[in-house]
Structure 1
Amino acid sequence: MKGHGIAGITLCAKNHFGTQTRRSASHLHPGLKSSNSKGYGYYRVLVDLMGNKFTGDKNLFYILDALWSGTDWNGLPVKFLMPPFNNHWSSSLLLSLDPVAIESVAYDFLRTEFSYPEHTVPHMLESGVDDYLHQTADSGNWPAGIIYAPNGDGIPIPNSLGVHEHWNNPADKQYSKNLGTGEGIELVKIFPHG
């Protein structure tokens, strides 16, 4: 779980850049949030990867490593200032059956942590970082003229690949299922001492 200078964040879906058979995945970078596609309503390559039968469909259970989270793809880990970490390592694992929900939760942690003025890396806070999550959660958020059909058969991916929402506030970290207001995300916290 860390930031990324182009995408804003790099989590489970971005890891599929490593599944490409080319020498690098640089050909996929233009489909990330870039200087000419900041904000919402743009084509996002991560939607294709999450909906592809060879990448997204083969994932059954998601484990997101947030043991030592950092600012960038090549950056050193940083201690998290926000509670419950309180200037310690993030020391966490996120687990989910929902690929969109796990990325939504991780993004909430990153955008909260890196909004502290002590951090000087702004890319997690730029507009459109979670555009791919809006689009994977609801096809109504796809850009005009874009149909995600990554399997080469012309069949669009399902209308929703999972749940995207943000927590109620950084102190309580509650989602709709925690609050009893919906059937969305439920964040269950397991701490070693209670």
Structure 2
Amino acid sequence: MIAANGRAGGLYGVAPEAQLYGIKVMDRDGNGRISDVIRGIEWAMDNHIQVLNMSLGDRNYNAALEYATRKAHQKGMILVASAGNDGERSGLVDYPARFPWVISVGAVDQEMKRASFSSTRGPVDMMAPGVDIRSSWKSGYRTESGTSMSAAHVSGGAALVLSRHPELNGAKAESYLKRLNKRSRVRKGYGHGLLNLSPLSE
């Protein structure tokens, strides 16, 4: 979804020329520890990663996670995280998406309406497709729904902005990405609006 290059008739990602690094911080069941997530962030900083996609979240605040994400942002990294899938039950945006220096992403369906599962209570910076998304998987392709899919779209968008405008640093590229979204019709609860990358192809 982020960097698939369409080989052998496969999918094209949002930024097919981007270099993608997989930083494993979860087990095969999608569970993990905050300490492992922090080590992943530190690895990304040490290896000069420009965009960090965090399709993960936790309802509980963690001071060490706050420090790690803030430090990564200060070093110029663009951080993107899924808002969460609590929908109307509690709706609170997860951490690390809730930190103000992390781009929090909610999900919309094919009609660009907010997905029923998408968390909204808290800072949602933008919305992106997250319902029935076909993406590359370790054994081929798989269709999934969730704000994790939405966050991946935005991470690809951030990579695309950096490739089109290499003169921009992390903070300026992040602001540019958000301004692109304002070209779309902003709805209440959509933050800066729907992910809109069409101007990059103009």
TM range (shorter): under 0.3
TM-score by length of 2: 0.24
Query: What TM-score do the two structures reach when normalised by structure 1?
Result: 0.24
Asked which structure has the greater CA Rg, the reply is: 1
**Richer in strand (by share):** 2
Looking at both structures, which has the greater relative contact order when contacts are Cα pairs under 8 Å and sequence separation is at least 6?
A: 1
